[in-house]
Amino acid sequence: MPPRVVQTPDEVRAALAGRRARGAIGLVPTMGALHAGHASLIERARGECPTVVVSIFVNPLQFDRADDLARYPRPFEADLALCNRLGVDVVFAPAPDAIYPEPPDVTVHVGETAKYLCGAFRPGHFDGVATVVLKLFNIVQPDVAYFGEKDAQQLAIIRRMVSDLNVPVTIAPVPTVREADGLALSSRNQHLNTEERALAPALHKALTAARDAVAGGTREAAAVKQLAARLIPADGRLRLEYLEIVDPWTFLPLQTIDRPAVAAGALWVGSTRLIDNVLCTPPA
Amino acid sequence: MPPRVVQTPDEVRAALAGRRARGAIGLVPTMGALHAGHASLIERARGECPTVVVSIFVNPLQFDRADDLARYPRPFEADLALCNRLGVDVVFAPAPDAIYPEPPDVTVHVGETAKYLCGAFRPGHFDGVATVVLKLFNIVQPDVAYFGEKDAQQLAIIRRMVSDLNVPVTIAPVPTVREADGLALSSRNQHLNTEERALAPALHKALTAARDAVAGGTREAAAVKQLAARLIPADGRLRLEYLEIVDPWTFLPLQTIDRPAVAAGALWVGSTRLIDNVLCTPPA
C-alpha cells in the first residue's frame, strides 16, 4: 500500500489515531531530497516500529541564508517513490503555512550546545531546528525519532532538548552513510560539479586523520586540529570553515582529548557548504 | 482515597499509565500556597476529567528576584489537605533537582507577547514560566490544563506556546476569584499586613474604573489609563508599576480601544507586588 500523504497537523493526527494501539510510531524527520542516508534511517524505523512516518519539510526557520533556502532541492515525486519502496505508512509533507500559520512568537532556544561549530557560523539555525523538531514531535507524537549522525551537533541538541524539556520520545541515532571515497551523503552534494565532487572527500580525509592521531595517542586538541587541517588541499575552491574537537554531549571544544570526542568540520566546496564528523577514541 | 503524591517525572508517568484509558487527564499547574482561586481551578478540572493532577512546584527559573523566591510560601501539608478534600488523584510535588537535574540549555523563549507589562518588569520571567509549563505538559501529558485568568499575560503566553509549538493540550481559562472588596486572590496576599491589606483593593478599583470608562464609550487608551491611575491613592506604601490596556491575545498595548481589551496592572503594596486585570468591552 502506498504511503498516505498528509499535509496538515490535523490530518497527521487523524491518520495516526487508529494506529497508536498497534505499537510504536517511528518518525523520520527530513527536509526531503532523500538519499541513501535517509533510506538507512527509514529502514531502521521500519524494522523497529509498526507505524513509520516520514516528514518532508524544508524549514524556513533554520536557514540563515535566503539563497540556500531557495536552492535547496525539492524532488517530491522521487522522495515519495522512495518512501513507497521502503514501506513508509504516512508521509507528512506540509506547506510552510501549515507549520507556521503566523510567524511564531514562542520558540525553542538553544544555549551553549549551539555556541560553537555550525551554531557559531549559522546564527539562529539551531533555534530553528529545535523549534521545528519540537513541533513535529508534538504533531506526530512518535515513540521513537530517528536522526542521522552526520548532523552530529543537531543530534546532540535534539537529545539535549528531549532531556531538558522532558519530551516523551526516544531519540535513535543512525550512522552516517558514505560514498566509496568517504564523502558523507548529503542532499547538498548534488550542487557539486565534477571537479568540486572530486575535492569534496578532503573533509572526511582530514577528520579520519584526526581520529587516527587520537587513536595513536595524541592528546592535545590543537595538535590534532593542525594535523587534520593540513589535509585540506590549498585550492581556491576549498575553504575550511571550522575543524573542531568537541565533547559528544555538550559540543563544547576540548583542549585535551582524554575521553571519546567528536572531530567535526565544515568545508565550503565552491558555493556549497558540507559538514561531517567522526568519533575519536583515545587509546586505553 | 487521598491523592497519590509523586516526586519525579518517572513516578508521574507510572501513576498515570493505567489511568489514560479512563478518559481525559486534567492538569492544574500551581506553585502551591493554594487558595480559593486554585480550588476553583481544581473543581473545574474535577468536574471535567476522570483524572485530576495538581502539580506543586515553586519554579526557580521564573523568579527574577532571589528574595521573592526565598519568601514564596510553601505550606505543603495544607496544600495536600486541600487537594485531598477536592478529590485530586495525583499530586506532583517535585524537588527542584527532579525538574532541573542540571541547568537547562534548551529552553522556551517568548517574544513580543512577553515584551510589555510583567514581561518588561520581570526579565526572563515568562521564558521561565513557558519552559516549566512545557516540561509539566510533557511529563503529565494532560488532555486539558487549567490556568487562572488572574495571570492574564501568562495565560496568553501559554496559549500562544500551545499554538506556536503544536502542543497537544487544551488550555482552559478559569475566572479570577476575589475577596468581597475586589482584591484578587493570590498566594502573595498573605505577605500583606493589616494596613497594606486595606490599601490593596485600589488596583482592582482602578481597573474597574477603566472597564467602566471603556463601556461608557471612552476609546483613547491614554485617557482610560490616566483616569484609572488616579484611583490609586497617593500613599508612600503604594507604587503603580504599570497600568496598561492590551489586546487579549497578543498582549500588545492598544492606542484605541475599538475591540475587547484587557486592562492590566501591577501594584507594589509595601514590599509585595500584586497584579490584576479585567476585560474591557467597548459599547456596541
pLDDT of A135 reads: 98
The alpha carbon of B172 is separated from its chain's Cα centroid by a whole number of angstroms, namely 12
Partners of residue A170 in chain B, C-beta under 8 Å: none
Average pLDDT, integer, range B49-61: 98
Q: Which neighbouring-strand residues pair with A109?
A: B107
Has residue A154 been placed in a domain? yes
User: Among A139-153, A163-177, B63-77, which stretch is predicted with the lowest mean pLDDT?
Assistant: B63-77
Among A9, A110, A134, beta carbon nearest to B105:
A110
pLDDT of A162 reads: 98
3-state secondary structure A140-172: HCCCEEEEECCCHHHHHHHHHHHHHCCCCCEEE
Other Cβ atoms less than 10 A from the Cβ of B20: the count is: 13
Among B107, B112, B168, beta carbon nearest to A141:
B168
Tell me the per-residue pLDDT of B19-31, one tens digit each, with 9 for 90 and over: 999 999 999 999 9
Has residue A95 been placed in a domain? yes
Cα A176 to Cα A138, A249, B60, B100, B238, distances in angstroms: 26, 18, 40, 32, 63
What would the grid cell of residue A262 be? 567528536
Just list the catalytic residues of B: 38
B19 in the same domain as B124: yes
Partners of residue B169 in chain A, C-beta under 8 Å: none
Where is the domain boundary, B118, B147, B174? B174
Which pTM value belongs to this model?
Answer: 0.97
Strands (E), B31-122: 51-56, 90-92, 106-110
A145 in the same domain as A237: no
B256 in the same domain as B164: no
A25 in the same domain as A114: yes
Tell me the per-residue pLDDT of B74-97, one tens digit each, with 9 for 90 and over: 999 999 999 999 999 999 999 999
Q: What angle do CA B53, B56, B57 make, to 5 degrees?
A: 135
pLDDT of B243 reads: 98
Partners of residue A109 in chain B, C-beta under 8 Å: 106-109, 127
Tell me the per-residue pLDDT of B201-237, one tens digit each, with 9 for 90 and over: 999 999 999 999 999 999 999 999 999 999 999 999 9
Tell me the per-residue pLDDT of B109-155, one tens digit each, with 9 for 90 and over: 999 999 999 999 999 999 999 999 999 999 999 999 999 999 999 99
Contact at CB, B161 and A131, closer than 8 angstroms: no
Tell me the per-residue pLDDT of A82-97, one tens digit each, with 9 for 90 and over: 999 999 999 999 999 9
Helix or strand holding residue B219 (H, E): none
- Tell me if residue B233 falls in helix, strand or coil: coil
Cβ proximity of B79 and B57 under 8 Å: no
Where is the domain boundary, B143, B174, B205? B174
Tell me the per-residue pLDDT of B165-178, one tens digit each, with 9 for 90 and over: 999 999 999 999 99
pLDDT of B118 reads: 95
A195 in the same domain as A162: no
Cβ proximity of B203 and B274 under 8 Å: yes
Has residue A50 been placed in a domain? yes
Question: What is the rounded CA–CA span in Å between residue A10 and residue A98?
Answer: 10
B206 in the same domain as B79: no
Question: What is the rounded CA–CA span in Å between residue B12 and residue B88?
Answer: 14
What would the grid cell of residue A169 be? 520520545
pLDDT of A30 reads: 98
**Domain CATH code at residue B253:** 3.30.1300.10
A164 in the same domain as A63: yes
Where is the domain boundary, A120, A149, A174? A174
Has residue A90 been placed in a domain? yes
Tell me the per-residue pLDDT of B254-280, one tens digit each, with 9 for 90 and over: 999 999 999 999 999 999 999 999 999
What would the grid cell of residue B258 be? 475599538
| Biggest distance spanned by C-alpha atoms of chain A | 58
Contact at CB, A166 and B108, closer than 8 angstroms: no
The alpha carbon of B16 is separated from its chain's Cα centroid by a whole number of angstroms, namely 25
CB contacts < 8 A (A, B): 78
ipTM: 0.96
Question: What is the rounded CA–CA span in Å between residue B41 and residue B28?
Answer: 7
Question: What is the rounded CA–CA span in Å between residue A245 and residue A264?
Answer: 6
Other Cβ atoms less than 10 A from the Cβ of A274: the count is: 24
Has residue B72 been placed in a domain? yes
Partners of residue B164 in chain A, C-beta under 8 Å: 104-107
Cα A194 to Cα A10, A67, A200, A239, A243, distances in angstroms: 44, 22, 10, 18, 25
A77 in the same domain as A194: no
DSSP sequence for chain A: -PPEEE-SHHHHHHHHHTTGGGS-EEEEEE-S---HHHHHHHHHHHHH-SEEEEEE---GGG-S-HHHHHHS---HHHHHHHHHHTT-SEEE---HHHH-SS--SEEEEE-GGGSSTHHHHSTTHHHHHHHHHHHHHHHH--SEEEEETTSHHHHHHHHHHHHHTT-S-EEEEEPPPB-TTSPBP-GGGGG--HHHHHHTTHHHHHHHHHHHHHHTT--BHHHHHHHHHTTS---TTEEEEEEEEE-TTT-PBPSB--S-EEEEEEEEETTEEEEEEEEE----
Has residue B182 been placed in a domain? no
Question: What is the rounded CA–CA span in Å between residue A104 and residue A60?
Answer: 12
B217 in the same domain as B162: no
Cβ proximity of B265 and B230 under 8 Å: no
Contact at CB, B106 and A106, closer than 8 angstroms: no
- The domain containing residue B251 runs over which residues? 187-278
B199 in the same domain as B82: no
Please enumerate residues of B whose Cβ is less than 8 A from a Cβ of A: 9, 13, 104-113, 127, 130-131, 134-135, 138-139, 141, 157, 160-161, 164-168
B170 in the same domain as B206: no
B53 in the same domain as B94: yes
Number of domains in chain B: 2
**Domain CATH code at residue A150:** 3.40.50.620
